[in-house]
Chain A
Amino acid sequence: MKMTARFLARLSCPKKDGRMHWWVWALLGILLAVMPWIVAAGFGNTWLRILNFALLYVMLALGLNIVVGFAGLLDMGYIAFYAVGAYLWALLASPQFGLHWPMWAILPLGAGVAGLFGLLLGAPTLKLRGDYLAIVTLGFGEIIRIFLNNLNAPVNITNGPQGISAIDALHFGSVSLARPMDLGIVTIPSLVAFYYVFLMAATAIIGIALRLERSRVGRAWAAIREDEIAAKACGINTRNVKLLAFAMGATFGGVAGGLFAGFQQFVSPESFGLLESVMVLCMVVLGGMGHIPGVIFGALLLTLLPEFFRQVAGPVQQALFGKIYIDPESLRMLLFGLSLVLVMRYRPSGLWPSPQRQREIDDTQRVDAPAAMPVRHQ
Chain B
Amino acid sequence: MDIFLQQIINGVVLGSIYALVALGYTMVYGILGLINFAHGEVVMVGALVAYTVMTALLPTGLPPVLLALLALLVAAPVCMALAWIIERYAYRPLRHAPKLAPLISAIGVSILLQNLAMMIWGRSYHAFPDILPPLHYDIGGAQITLLQVVTILLAAGTMAALAWLIQRTAMGQAMRATAENPAIAALMGVPVNRIITLTFVIGAALAALAGLMVGANYSVAHYYMGFMLGLKAFTAAVLGGIGNITGAMLGGLLLGLIESLGGGYIEDLTGGFLGSNYQDIFAFLVLISVLVFRPGGLMGERVSERA
A interface, CB within 8 angstroms of B: 68, 74, 124-125, 127-132, 134-136, 138-140, 142-143, 146-147, 149-150, 153-154, 228-229, 274, 278, 281-282, 285-286, 289, 326-327, 330, 333-334, 336-341, 344-345, 348-349, 361, 365-375, 377-378
Contacts and interface: CB of A to CB of B under 8 A. Distances in A.
A369 B292 CA distance: 23
Given A128-B295, A139-B235, A344-B101, A375 B284 contact: no
B238 A135 contact: yes
Given A344-B108, A365-B96, A136 B288 contact: yes
Contacts of B194: 378
A372 B306 contact: no
Interface size class of B (residues with CB under 8 A): 35 or more
Given A333-B115, A372-B96, A339 B273 contact: no
A377 B272 contact: no
A149 B193 CA distance: 45
B116 interface: yes
Contacts, number: 179
5 contacts: A128-B291, A135-B238, A341-B90, A349-B97, A373-B182
Given A338-B108, A349-B101, A366-B98, 8 more contacts: A131-B33, A140-B284, A142-B231, A147-B281, A340-B111, A341-B112, A348-B97, A374-B186
B98 A361 contact: yes
A308 B273 CA distance: 45
Interface in B267-307: 272-275, 277-278, 280-281, 283-285, 287-288, 291-292, 295-297, 305-307
B287 to A, nearest CB: 6
A68 B104 CA distance: 13
B104 A281 contact: yes
A337 B112 contact: yes
A136 B182 contact: no
A282 B107 CA distance: 9
B234 interface: yes
Contact of B108 (A140, A341, A378): A341
B284 A344 contact: no
B184 to A, nearest CB: 10
A132 B291 contact: yes
B136 interface: no
A125 to B, nearest CB: 8
A125 B85 CA distance: 35
Contacts of B291: 124-125, 128, 132, 136
A309 to B, nearest CB: 12
Nearest to A229: B305
Contacts of B306: 229
B118 A330 contact: yes
A371 B94 contact: yes
A124 B288 contact: yes
Contacts of A330: 115, 118-119
A348 B98 contact: yes
A281 B101 CA distance: 11
Contacts of B32: 370-371, 373
A375 B193 contact: yes
Contact of A371 (B95, B112, B115, B186): B95
A78 to B, nearest CB: 14
Contacts of A134: 35, 103
A74 B100 contact: yes
Among the interface residues B97, B110, B231, B283, which one has the most CB atoms of the partner chain A within 10 A? Answer: B97
Contact of B115 (A127, A281, A289, A334): A334
Contacts of B287: 135-136, 139
B29 A131 contact: yes
